[in-house]
Amino acid sequence: TKTQVVFDLSSFQLQTTDKKWFQGNRIMRNLRELTEDMDSLDAEVLDQRLNYYLTKPTYFTFYATGDSLVLPQEIYAYKLVRDSINRLPHVANEILKKTILPADKSLTVADSLKPKVGLTQNEANGSPINLDTVRKKVSPGDSTKPHRLITKKTAFTIRKEKGEGKIPEKKVMLMDSGSVVERAIAQARLDSSRTAKIDSIFMRSPTRDQLQGATNAARQIKSQVQNSIGSIDTYQKEFLVFEVQWHKILASSFACITMFLIGAPLGAIIKKGGLGVPFLVSIFFFIVYYVITMQGEKLAKRGSLDVVAGVWMADFILLVIGLVFLRQARVDARFFEADFYSVVMDKVKRWLMSRGYLKAKSG
């Protein structure tokens, strides 16, 4: 008898996860998308470095405020590109204003032809204003002081009455040599006292509040610098991860060729053991490939090794081994037989004896 136990899982409402939630993962990306992602991460790194250089004056309130830093070449080039992109909306607005400007001018001319509110008919028509009419409008009883129509002549008369038109008389003071010396001595004493006062300010020991403020400012600067460096390191690590994945796609495809160069000659080289011995040898080389690949990727993601060397190292090593196996299969060498290695050892011993590194056995 066979017993089947069926559990109803409909209450869990399990559904297939939508693929769009995984499409941003680097494993799901193709070469073109990975290239775009690496370009975006590189731009983020340059943006963080540029912001660090631009915000440097805000870190130091009193020290080296007028100094300027020379931007590296790649950061300066990125700054030019970013500034040009930021100017694009303003350039579009400028072009739009130039396009609409003639219509605005026509509206202004049309409005200027209308009579202005609050003006007389003569003023609206542009007729000259009669001065007598203005004088009649200003009656003497409106104020305690009579109003005057300010003209060039009247204004000059008012300044003359106040005495502003008079040229001040220059007073010539004669000073003897004694007064000059006394003034020089007084000025020197004043300068020395001022210098002593300034020196006393600098020589004065800082207070507790001043020390606390300086400590807080130093901690804040350190925190800002560490945050900038941390952001740059994060983006650089992400860039290395995406770059490793980009090379891994190509390296995995090339690994199929290297494995074929290793597995195909093994059938011709190994003549004993049937299919099992070549299969075991192939598994051994696959394990070697996997270990080297994992270590290389780990070092590349950490930044201890170049990405190209870390990802492609296993392929290059197995490619050399595959070419050696291919050559041995072409000459029909007994590569996996014990007699082959005994012959090789005899050749090595004879070479060492000829060089004098080994002595021949007597008897």
The answer to whether residue 73 is domain-embedded is: no
pLDDT digits (tens, 9 = 90+) for 77-131: 988 988 888 888 888 777 777 776 555 554 454 444 454 444 454 444 444 444 4
The total number of structural domains in the chain stands at: 1
pLDDT digits (tens, 9 = 90+) for 285-330: 999 999 999 999 999 998 889 999 999 999 999 999 999 888 888 8
Domain that holds residue 359: 338-363
The answer to whether residue 93 is domain-embedded is: no
The answer to whether residue 124 is domain-embedded is: no
pLDDT digits (tens, 9 = 90+) for 40-88: 989 999 998 888 888 777 777 666 666 677 788 888 898 898 888 888 8
The answer to whether residue 220 is domain-embedded is: no
Predicted TM-score (pTM) of the model is: 0.58
* Burial class for 46, CB neighbours closer than 10 Å (0-12, 13-18, 19+): buried
SS (H, E, C) 170-225: CCCCCCCHHHHHHHHHHHHHHHHHHHHHHHHHHHCCCCHHHHHHHHHHHHHHHHHH
The answer to whether residue 349 is domain-embedded is: yes
The answer to whether residue 357 is domain-embedded is: yes
The answer to whether residue 352 is domain-embedded is: yes
The answer to whether residue 361 is domain-embedded is: yes
